[in-house]
Amino acid sequence: MKFTLVATVLLTFSLSAFAVEYPVLTTASPDQVGFDSQKLHRLDGWIQNQIDAGYPSINLLVIKDNHIVLQKAWGYAKKYDGSTLLAHPIRATTNTMYDLASNTKMYATNFALQKLVYEGKIDVNDLVSKYIPGFKDMPGDKIKGKDKL
């Protein structure tokens, strides 16, 4: 019991050393951060057309320079029960949780790469072997990060 408590405390403190402070997001109008409001409005219309054409739901969050420019949900979180259309479908919200299954790896990797590029820690125009020395397809290949995205 005592060992478990000590181990838990040590683990907690050691993990806190790796804590990352994320910036606080605030809301701003598109114009305040350099977005074209008309283009976002057209995007809204295009997404609604996708919903009208049968796409179940879409959630979109646009952030620029730590400002939330657009956060919106379209469509339904649950429209069917099996193959039966619900009399009262449940609308999607910005808090709707989705099961992304194996897509999670792709999205998480993409987000991490975007963050590293934004912070100047990697350059997609560099050879992948600069960051992963053993990476190569064929001898002499000059594969850049952007070639594999």
Closest to 93 measured CA to CA, from 119, 141, 58:
58
The per-residue pLDDT for range 30-70, each reduced to its tens digit, is: 999 998 899 999 999 999 999 999 888 999 999 999 999 99
Q: Identify whether 82 is part of a domain.
A: yes
For residue 135, the model assigns a pLDDT of: 75
Domain holding 44, by residue range, is 21-97
**Residues 76, 124: one domain?**
no
Q: Which residues of the chain have pLDDT under 50?
A: none
pLDDT in the model for residue 87: 94
Residue 43 lies in a domain: yes
For residues 50 and 58, the answer to whether their CB atoms sit within 8 Å is yes
| pLDDT number for residue 141 | 73
Domain boundary among 97, 114, 131: 97
Distances (CA, A) of 34 to 25, 29, 53, 67, 71: 17, 9, 31, 11, 17
